[in-house]
């Protein structure tokens, strides 16, 4: 009797799951490719090249620290039906994405499957550690600095990579993606010319950033990042390090502290006060503020902020 019950209970559960699965499988076959990206910047780039042939959505928000996104089950609902998952890679998402991929029940987007695209392979990666590393250095990224999208050249390369991938998955529209990519490249080159011109007067200016998230941006626009508010990556500011930063800023005439919107302003503000500098709350990602909804607006916003700050603090 008991045995019958226990068997029946399990069978019932399995039956319920199977029935449920039959309901869903019919929804899958829509025409547009479903693209899910880890961050808003990748979503914006995918949208540029994918146009109206794809649906694209980002998991992280632009004002969120991409290292510390929560692995919410609601993301599983998105991943479940994704044809393509685009990630920043270089272990930026290591703290939250892997379990989501495993639990998605979606074989197309598993690591190494055709629908898993690591965008880092297309980009120029800086600060790849040489030699051995340890956690005494803080939460280092052993594969290199993952904040590579803040260089428009990398944006162009990643967009091209995404376009090629989309074309491979949807060969009928390959030409469409190709053409959109070329158009994007042209507009980006034009915009970049203007951005470069705007930043030209401030070539070589020294800045401090909170986290080490702007090396690619600095390289492209000729800034010189000379220090960080964090003593080591992922380690909160300490009084002695803060004092060192203040002294260094005074000594080397560093006037600008770039802070991501998801960090506390207290320490950077006090550094600015003590050193006579200014804090610029720059955006590392599209969607960091409501008005910035595209990859172009991201640079426009940041460059406007920076040029203003440089002018005001010569």
Residues of span 229-258 touching another protein by CB under 8 A: 234-236
Record the tokens describing residue 294, joined without a space.
Answer: 């595209």
Q: To which H or E segment does residue 41 belong?
A: helix 40-50
Find the distance separating the first CA and the last CA of the chain, reported in whole Å.
Answer: 86
Q: Which of 262, 282, 295, 299 binds another protein (CB under 8 A)?
A: 262
d(CA 274, CA 268): 10
Instruction: Supply φ then ψ for residue 58, to 5 degrees.
Output: -100, 150
21 is a site residue for another protein (CB under 8 A):
yes
Site mask for another protein (CB under 8 A), range 113-132, x = bound? x--x-x-xxxxxx--xxxxx
Q: Quick one: which segment of 66-74, 165-173, 192-200, 248-256 binds another protein (CB under 8 A)? A: 66-74
Beta carbon of residue 113, minimum distance to another protein (angstroms, whole number): 7
CA distance 81 to 29: 10
DSSP designation for 237: P
Q: Using CA atoms, how far apart are residues 230 and 224, in angstroms rounded to an integer?
A: 17
As a whole number of angstroms, the distance between CA 161 and CA 169 comes to 12
Q: How far is the CB of 205 from another protein (least distance, A)?
A: 24
User: Considering the rule CB under 8 A, would residue 77 count as an interface residue with another protein?
Assistant: yes
* Site of tokens 């005001």: 312
CA pair distance 125, 127, nearest whole angstrom: 7
Q: Using CB under 8 A, which residues numbered 205 to 234 contact another protein?
A: 234
Task: Tell me which of 51, 57, 127, 143 binds another protein, using CB under 8 A.
Answer: 143
The verdict on 30 binding another protein (CB under 8 A) reads: no
Judged by CB under 8 A, the residue of 34, 40, 44, 106 near another protein is 106
- Total residues contacting another protein by CB under 8 A comes to 81
Q: Return the residue of 6, 172, 290, 291 that touches another protein, per CB under 8 A.
A: 6
Report the C-alpha gap between 14 and 191 in whole angstroms. Answer: 56
Q: How far is the CB of 143 from another protein (least distance, A)?
A: 6
CB 250 to another protein: min, Å? 27
Question: Rounded to the nearest 10 degrees, what angle do helices 40-50 and 174-199 cross at?
Answer: 120
CB closer to another protein, 31 vs 135: 135
Q: Which is nearer to another protein, 122 or 195 (CB)?
A: 122
Give the binding range for another protein (CB under 8 A) out of 15-23, 35-43, 271-279, 297-305.
15-23
Other CB atoms within 10 A of residue 65 CB:
15
Q: Report, in Å, the least distance between residue 164 CB and another protein.
A: 11
């Amino acid at each position: 009797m008991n045995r019958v019950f226990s068997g029946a209970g399990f069978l019932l559960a399995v039956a319920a799951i199977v029935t449920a699965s039959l309901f869903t499988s019919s929804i899958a076959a829509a025409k547009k490719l479903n693209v899910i990206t880890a961050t808003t910047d990748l979503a914006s780039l995918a949208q540029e090249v994918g146009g109206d042939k794809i649906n694209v959505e980002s998991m992280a928000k632009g004002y969120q620290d991409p290292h510390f996104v929560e692995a919410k089950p609601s993301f599983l609902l998105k991943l479940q039906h994704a044809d393509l998952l685009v990630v920043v890679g270089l272990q930026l998402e290591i703290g939250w994405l892997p379990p989501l991929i495993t639990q998605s029940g979606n074989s197309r987007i598993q690591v190494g499957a055709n629908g898993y695209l690591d965008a880092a392979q297309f980009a120029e990666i800086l600060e790849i550690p040489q030699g051995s590393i340890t956690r005494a250095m803080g939460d280092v990224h052993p594969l290199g600095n993952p904040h590579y999208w803040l260089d428009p050249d990398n944006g162009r390369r990643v967009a091209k990579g995404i376009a090629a991938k989309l074309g491979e998955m949807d060969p009928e529209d390959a030409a469409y993606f190709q053409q959109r990519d070329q158009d994007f490249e042209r507009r980006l080159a034009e915009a970049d010319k203007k951005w470069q011109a705007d930043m030209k007067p401030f070539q070589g200016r020294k800045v401090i950033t909170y986290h080490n998230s702007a090396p690619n941006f600095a390289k492209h626009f000729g800034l010189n990042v000379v220090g960080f508010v964090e003593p080591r990556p992922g380690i909160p500011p300490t009084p002695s390090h803060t004092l060192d930063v203040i002294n260094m800023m005074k000594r080397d005439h560093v006037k600008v502290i770039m802070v991501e919107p998801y960090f506390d302003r207290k320490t950077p503000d006090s550094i600015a006060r003590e050193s006579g500098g200014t804090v610029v709350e720059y955006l590392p990602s599209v969607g960091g503020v409501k008005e910035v909804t595209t990859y172009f607006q991201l640079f426009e916003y940041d460059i406007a902020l920076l040029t203003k700050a440089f002018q005001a603090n010569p």
